[in-house]
Structure 1
Amino acid sequence: MSNSSLILTAVGSILLLLFLVMKTRLHAVVALILVSMIAGILSGMSPENIASTIQKGMGGTLGFVAVVVALGAMFGKIMEVTGALDRIAHTLLTQFGKKNAHWALTLTGFICALPLFFDVAVVLLIGVAFAVVRRSHDSLIKMGIALLAGIASCQAFLIPAPGPILVASQLHADFGYMILFGLLASIPAMILAGPLFGRFIATKVHVDLPNESDFNNQNIENETQANNTITIAREGEGSPSFLLALGLISLPLFLIALNTFGTRLIAPNSSLHSWLAFIGHPFTAILVACLMAFYFLGIKRGISGDRIMDICNSALQPAGIIILVTGAGGIFKQVLIDSGVGTALGDLLAGSGLPVVILAFVLSAAVRIIQGSATVAMLTACGLILPIITPLNLNGAQLAAITIAIGGGSVVLSHVNDSGFWLANRYLGLTEKQTLQTWTIMETIIGVTGGIMAILISAFL
């Protein structure tokens, strides 16, 4: 097939995916697999090879992400139900004071979102924003956008958040540089999109605090979760300290960074080099954090092993859906690669003269706008950019910068086809127009800031 036909197939596949998910309400896993099959057939792939490509795409993606998401879900859940995340939020709010509460909320969302999925972080922390608004009589928009910006910035650029760590693994980016570059991108992004933009847009958009009785009636499951958190926290011997909670979240980041920068000072074939590579791998780093959380937040505080097991089981149920959707996105990515679509698009874009970092951002942003999901946008852009960067023999730091660019593109211009759009709409009590004025612009500021930082970082590599 010609390059133009392959590119049209890719565009048509993404539009079909959008139609199936939004209009027919087909589950994302089924829609992604079905569209992957159709794209393979239309691009001229042998029918017998399509099945093996599906297996390759699912297995290649889940071989990494299933372990990370499962361990991360258990770690995040134990941090949640034992009150460790609540301790971080309370301490930051106390230290910043009411006047700077919106800064505290941004930092709270940024730190607490590290071990959590985006929607889980919003559900758990939105009550903190409501409490601050009730106490300070300040704007809900100002506080809500500040919190959401912290969460969204973390989830777009920092590992071990699922999206960035998945793309980094697919591109073989260096995880240590991912932490460094992720911080360089996410910190200015969350400041601009959170406290600064939140304070500005609060003068233009006003909403009242949602009625608590209505809110609770619509969120019985979340209320039950909160009650369970209080019950389990009371079973332990006192509330976890701020330093313990912050230390547990920082532990996997420290181990990963130790591997990246420590191995550069040690002979490559030495035993110490091998051990650092093992200890600093995300599998080991998150597992160690899990075990430490089980002991210091659970066993040491008198919580039984059976209760800890129940907490882990409850964490794995929602994680299973996320794992499957991510795996299905990996299938679509693999079809784009094996069918030659990625190479065709790469040939087209290579002639544009744009740097590869900008191409990565543009591709991710285009897919994001069309189909909504940030994770699928990341994976699809990953599949499209791989044929372009493979011949370039880029190092781990350069690949990390490309990963940041993909993360930035994956969050721009969130609108009605994005679940995050409706999450903000529902919890802040916004109209669709108000959600576009607040949430959508906030996400775009985060994405564009991250893209600009990725370009600046790549210029020095």
Structure 2
Amino acid sequence: MNTLTLVLTAVGSVVLLLFMVMKVRMHAFVALILVSICAGLFSGMPLEQICATMEKGMGSTLGFLAIVVALGAMFGKVLHESGALDEIAVNLMRLFGTKRAHFALGVAGLICALPLFFEVAVVLLIGIAFAVARHSQGNLVKMMVSLFAGIASAAAFLVPGPVPMLLASQLNADFSWLIIIGISAAIPGMIIAGPLFGSVISKVVTFDTVEDETVGAEVARDKQPSFGVSVAMVLLPLVLVGLKTIGSRLVASGTTLDKWLVFIGHPFTALLISCLVVMYGLAPRYGLTRQQTMAACAAAIQPAGIILLITGAGGVFKQVLVDSGVGKALGAALLGTGLPIAIACFILAAMVRIIQGSATVACLTTVGLMMPVLTQMNYSPAQYAALAICISGGAIVCSHVNDAGFWLFGKFTGATEAQTLKTWTVLETILGTTGAAIGVLYFYLLSA
């Protein structure tokens, strides 16, 4: 099909999806599946390929996410029931002060998310945000926006996040410069998109708390963990995941020890070990019976199932749009406009992201489309590092209903689709644009 038809199909699919979810009030899972089929039909995909593509999209999305969300939800639930999250919340407020509690959450998200995938960090840290909001009597919107901004900035710009690591390998970028430029982009991006934007939007948007659904009823307890024990439990999966990164620097690749570190450091194994520690070590020590612990885990799984179904349907929509060839059509059109290369990288990544939802796919598509142009230029590895930040910034802007992060934010915070667009979508756009602006600045400074 021609470029215009593909672009119109993509735009029409997004508009139809927004209409069905926000106006018709169709359940998001059904709407995503229905629109995916329509997008496949109107993009000219063979009928026999549409269902295969939908199955591929669901499987590739949930293959990782299902285990992470389930184990992470149980882990966070038991931490809450034992009083560990409350202890952390009280001490965070004591350190930063009640009025700056949202800054504390932004910093916590930025630091704790470094060794984790975005989804893993969300399920591990979401309970702390609820606890801080409860103890500080603060606005939940402000707390959640700050936390998610910290997590998203780490995932987008900071090594060893999967997106910057992927781009560095694809572009042969200099890792030292990638770290420097990434930090320069992540910190101001987190502050502007998190605490500052959160303070503004919290005056307009109010979440109906979902804490009773995702965290559960309070359990009477005579004692709760100390601050040190609480922090150690929260950091346990982070430390286990970090073993893989540390091991790759200190242990010879392919050795038995290296293989064990990689196995233990996988998010699946790290979360499973952490769940077992809090369920059978922490919980009984601080007043939870075996029955209470299992009931807490069961309660955590129920909302996780809804999140997984909707997220998987978002993966279906993404895969249909990817396999339809929309990204290639957009790239060919954009490269003919003569835009400066750094800005073209940002815009192309943003366009692909808006249409198909995945930041990783947006990055890979952009690199694939830009490499024929980039290889003709005599750019340094440092300049490629700056371009990597421009691409990663574009790949996170305008998150909406075809992005898993959109549904994770909405379901974990209790925001409606309209509220998620006003908060999460704007947050991601501010963060991506700020980070990309830093990348563009570095690119031209390094070109001088």
Give the TM-score normalised by structure 2: 0.72
Distance in structure 1 (CA, Å) of the matches to 2:31 and 2:63: 22
Return closer, same or farther for 1:189/1:385 CA change in 2, 3 Å cut-off: closer
**Alignment partner, residue 332 of structure 1:** 317
Kept in 1, the 8 Å contact 2:88–2:231? The answer is yes
Kept in 1, the 8 Å contact 2:76–2:127? The answer is no
Q: State the shift of 1:318 in Å.
A: 0.6
Unaligned runs of 5+ in 2: 114-120, 375-380, 401-405
**Alignment partner, residue 377 of structure 2:** none
One-letter amino acid of the counterpart of residue 280, structure 1: G
Distance in structure 2 (CA, Å) of the matches to 1:229 and 1:403: 44
Q: State the shift of 1:74 in Å.
A: 1.1
**Alignment partner, residue 363 of structure 1:** 351
Whether 1:154 and 2:150 are equivalent positions in the alignment is: yes
Kept in 2, the 8 Å contact 1:424–1:439? The answer is no
Distance in structure 2 (CA, Å) of the matches to 1:170 and 1:323: 25
**Alignment partner, residue 43 of structure 1:** 43
Kept in 2, the 8 Å contact 1:17–1:31? The answer is yes
Kept in 2, the 8 Å contact 1:256–1:281? The answer is yes
Q: State the shift of 1:128 in Å.
A: 3.0
One-letter amino acid of the counterpart of residue 316, structure 2: I
Deviating more after overlay: 299-308 vs 349-358? 349-358
Kept in 2, the 8 Å contact 1:87–1:242? The answer is yes
Distance in structure 1 (CA, Å) of the matches to 2:194 and 2:311: 28
Whether 1:343 and 2:328 are equivalent positions in the alignment is: yes
Distance in structure 1 (CA, Å) of the matches to 2:274 and 2:181: 22
Whether 1:32 and 2:32 are equivalent positions in the alignment is: yes
**Alignment partner, residue 16 of structure 2:** 16
**Alignment partner, residue 387 of structure 1:** 365
Return closer, same or farther for 1:40/1:424 CA change in 2, 3 Å cut-off: closer
Kept in 2, the 8 Å contact 1:115–1:249? The answer is no
Q: Deviations over 1:171-221 (max 9, x none)?
A: 9999x999999877554334334555667x59xx979xx9xxxx9xx87x7
Q: State the shift of 1:387 in Å.
A: 3.5
Kept in 1, the 8 Å contact 2:396–2:428? The answer is no
Q: State the shift of 1:66 in Å.
A: 0.8
Distance in structure 2 (CA, Å) of the matches to 1:20 and 1:387: 28
Give the TM-score normalised by structure 1: 0.70
Q: State the shift of 1:306 in Å.
A: 2.2
One-letter amino acid of the counterpart of residue 152, structure 2: A
Return closer, same or farther for 1:283/1:242 CA change in 2, 3 Å cut-off: same
Return closer, same or farther for 1:244/1:165 CA change in 2, 3 Å cut-off: same
One-letter amino acid of the counterpart of residue 133, structure 2: I
Q: Deviations over 1:216-266 (max 9, x none)?
A: xx87x75698883242xx06xx21122222222222223333313431443
- Taking only aligned residues, the RMSD between alpha carbons, in angstroms, comes to 4.8
Return closer, same or farther for 1:334/1:85 CA change in 2, 3 Å cut-off: same
**Alignment partner, residue 116 of structure 1:** 123
Return closer, same or farther for 1:101/1:27 CA change in 2, 3 Å cut-off: closer
Distance in structure 1 (CA, Å) of the matches to 2:414 and 2:268: 35
Q: State the shift of 1:3 in Å.
A: 2.0
Q: State the shift of 1:308 in Å.
A: 1.4
SS of residue in 2 equivalent to 1:229:
coil
Kept in 1, the 8 Å contact 2:190–2:431? The answer is yes
Return closer, same or farther for 1:187/1:250 CA change in 2, 3 Å cut-off: farther
Aligned-pair identity (%): 41
**Alignment partner, residue 306 of structure 2:** 321
**Alignment partner, residue 128 of structure 1:** 135
Return closer, same or farther for 1:403/1:66 CA change in 2, 3 Å cut-off: farther
Kept in 1, the 8 Å contact 2:398–2:426? The answer is no
**Alignment partner, residue 284 of structure 1:** 269
Kept in 2, the 8 Å contact 1:106–1:190? The answer is yes
Kept in 2, the 8 Å contact 1:157–1:407? The answer is no
**Alignment partner, residue 71 of structure 1:** 71
| Aligned pair partner of 2:239 in 245, 249, 254 | 254
Whether 1:229 and 2:229 are equivalent positions in the alignment is: no
Whether 1:405 and 2:393 are equivalent positions in the alignment is: yes
Question: May I ask how many residue pairs the two structures share in their alignment?
Answer: 406
Q: State the shift of 1:421 in Å.
A: 9.1
SS of residue in 2 equivalent to 1:228:
coil
One-letter amino acid of the counterpart of residue 57, structure 2: G
